């Protein structure tokens, strides 16, 4: 019985942590970028404030829109939430942890992306189509790298179950610095940047027609629906950062049912993801956005890195 309670509460804590933490991470990155550029920048909690404000605003739908426009944000948020719920972020034993397969998480995220693209296409404006097309292209190119990279991570533990991978990493600390892990980490970082729409892949803070990707899809949203889309996007950031952090440095995660361990886990997760966010923000600061048609090179590089990671893993086992 305690197992159920523990799993349930851990799941809830994960969802709340990522739900609140995601926007905070986005805010943090904006802050870091602003500081690095010599500006003061908005407070770290600004994204949360924006969300609250948007949630109270009027819902506006374009005349030619279909129910998909309203449904897409819900799907985005729900799929990301479920992915968060089943992944081992705070605890290695969340509810449905046995389903926390890498493939499940990847395809849940893909479902979210597809829903976002469909939302963008629904109104039938040029920008929506442009954003959807670009986002799907980037997603299609990033996905192989993502999948193969996580396969590389799952090779040593012979399982694609995330809790198992973390458990066996905890048991074998020496794996962390293996060449396979490091290659996979590099690939994953590239993928995460692409999937979360950060520079050099996309610039989330611009509405410049020629370059925007994700923002183009959300142009037709307003009010609570815009809030959902944005929130889903930041939860995605939170989830991916947490996963990267936990897959490589799982220490701190709660493995048994004590309050202390959970508190420690939340704290360590926050610390780890902040570090990741810091790193990504620094990359953003130091690089310029790539042209759309240069992106394949970057993502192909990520793919090659991940395949290398698998091969190295096979060779060095």
Partner 1 sequence: MTLLLVALGVGALAALAGAALARRWRVAVASTLGALGCVLAVFAAVTTLRGGATTTFHSAQVLPLSGVSLTLDPLAAWFILVSSIVGAAACVYNVGYAHGALASRPAQSTFMLFTFSLIAVPSASNITTFMFGWELMALSSLLLILTEHARHVEARSAALWYGVMTQLGAASILLGLLLVSSHGSAQSFAAISAHAAGLSPATRSLAFLLVLGGFASKAGAVPLHVWLPKAHPAAPSSVSALMSSAMVAMGVYGIIRVGQGLLHGGTVWWWFAVTLLGVVSAMYGALHATTSNDLKRLLAYSTIDIIGLVLTGVGAAGALKDSGQPMVAHLALGAALLLVLAHAAFKGALFLAAGAIDRSAGTRDLDLLGGLIHVMPVTATVIVFGAGAIMAVPTLSGFSSEWLLLQSFLHGFTALSTPVVIVMLLGTVALALTGGLTAVAFVKVIGIGFLGRARSEGAANAHEASRSMLVAMGALTIPSVFLGVAPGLVGAWWERAVSLALGRSSDPYTPSTGVVLARLGGAIAPAAVLVALIGVMSLVWLLSQNRTARHARRVDAWGCGRDGQTSRMQYTATSFAEPLQRVFADVLRPQSDVEVTHVVESRYYEQSLSYESRIVDVFEARGYRPIIGWVLRAGGAARRLQNGSLDRYLAFGFGALIAILVVG
Residues 69-88 binding partner 1 (CB under 8 A) are: 70, 73-75, 77-79, 81-82, 85-86
Among 50, 195, 225, 284, which residue sits at the site for partner 1 (rule: CB under 8 A)? 225
203 sits near partner 1 (criterion: CB under 8 A)? no
CB count in 10 Å sphere of residue 220: 21
17 sits near partner 1 (criterion: CB under 8 A)? no
Q: Which span sits near partner 1 by CB under 8 A: 22-30, 147-155, 198-206, 268-276? A: 147-155
Among 126, 210, 260, 288, which residue sits at the site for partner 1 (rule: CB under 8 A)? 126
191 sits near partner 1 (criterion: CB under 8 A)? no
> In the complex with partner 1, which residue's Cβ is closer, 111 or 255?
111
Site for partner 1 in 231-290 (CB under 8 A): none
12 sits near partner 1 (criterion: CB under 8 A)? no
Among 224, 246, 254, 268, which residue sits at the site for partner 1 (rule: CB under 8 A)? 224
Cβ partners under 8 Å of residue 219, min gap 6: 120, 125, 127, 128, 131
159 sits near partner 1 (criterion: CB under 8 A)? yes
63 sits near partner 1 (criterion: CB under 8 A)? yes
The pair of three-digit structure tokens given for residue 59, joined into one six-digit string: 């819902």
154 sits near partner 1 (criterion: CB under 8 A)? yes
d(CA 112, CA 307): 25
Among 8, 53, 98, 286, which residue sits at the site for partner 1 (rule: CB under 8 A)? 98
The pair of three-digit structure tokens given for residue 103, joined into one six-digit string: 């493939």
d(CA 230, CA 240): 15
Q: How far is CA 180 from CA 41, 212, 242, in A?
A: 39, 34, 20
Among 179, 267, 311, 316, which residue sits at the site for partner 1 (rule: CB under 8 A)? 311
The answer to whether 72 and 121 are in contact (CB under 8 A) is no
d(CA 310, CA 308): 5
The pair of three-digit structure tokens given for residue 105, joined into one six-digit string: 């998480």
Please report how close the Cβ of residue 262 comes to partner 1 at its closest, in angstroms.
21
292 sits near partner 1 (criterion: CB under 8 A)? yes
136 sits near partner 1 (criterion: CB under 8 A)? yes
Among 99, 205, 287, 316, which residue sits at the site for partner 1 (rule: CB under 8 A)? 99
The pair of three-digit structure tokens given for residue 85, joined into one six-digit string: 């719920």
63 φ, ψ (degrees, to nearest 5): -60, -35
Nearest to 149 by CA among 175, 105, 180: 180
């Amino acid at each position: 019985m305690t197992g159920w309670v523990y799993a349930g509460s851990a799941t809830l804590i994960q969802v709340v942590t990522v739900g609140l933490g995601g926007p905070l991470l986005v805010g943090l990155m904006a802050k870091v970028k602003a500081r690095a550029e010599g500006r003061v920048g908005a407070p770290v909690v600004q994204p949360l404030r924006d969300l609250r404000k948007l949630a109270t605003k009027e819902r506006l739908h374009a005349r030619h829109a279909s129910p998909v426009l309203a449904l897409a944000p819900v799907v985005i948020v729900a799929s990301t939430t479920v992915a968060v719920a089943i992944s081992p972020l705070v605890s290695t034993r969340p509810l449905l942890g046995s389903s926390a397969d890498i493939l499940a998480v990847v395809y849940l995220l893909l479902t979210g992306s597809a829903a976002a693209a469909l939302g963008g296409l629904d109104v039938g404006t040029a920008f929506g189509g442009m954003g959807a097309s670009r986002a799907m292209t980037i997603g299609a190119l990033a996905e192989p790298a993502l999948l193969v990279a996580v396969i590389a991570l799952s090779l040593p533990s012979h399982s694609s179950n995330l809790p198992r991978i973390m458990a066996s990493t905890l048991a074998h600390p020496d794996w962390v610095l293996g060449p396979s892990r490091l290659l996979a980490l590099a690939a994953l970082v590239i993928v995460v940047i692409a999937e979360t729409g950060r520079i050099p892949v996309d610039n989330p803070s611009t509405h410049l027609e020629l370059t925007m990707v994700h923002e183009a899809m959300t142009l037709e949203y307003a009010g609570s629906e815009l809030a959902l889309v944005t929130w889903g996007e930041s939860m995605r950031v939170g989830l991916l950062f947490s996963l990267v952090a936990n897959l490589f440095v799982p220490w701190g995660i709660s493995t048994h049912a004590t309050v202390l361990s959970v508190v420690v886990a939340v704290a360590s997760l926050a610390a780890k993801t902040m570090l990741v966010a810091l790193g990504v923000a620094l990359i953003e600061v130091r690089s310029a956005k790539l042209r759309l048609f240069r992106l394949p090179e970057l993502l192909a590089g990520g793919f090659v890195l991940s395949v290398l990671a698998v091969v190295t893993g096979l060779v060095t086992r």
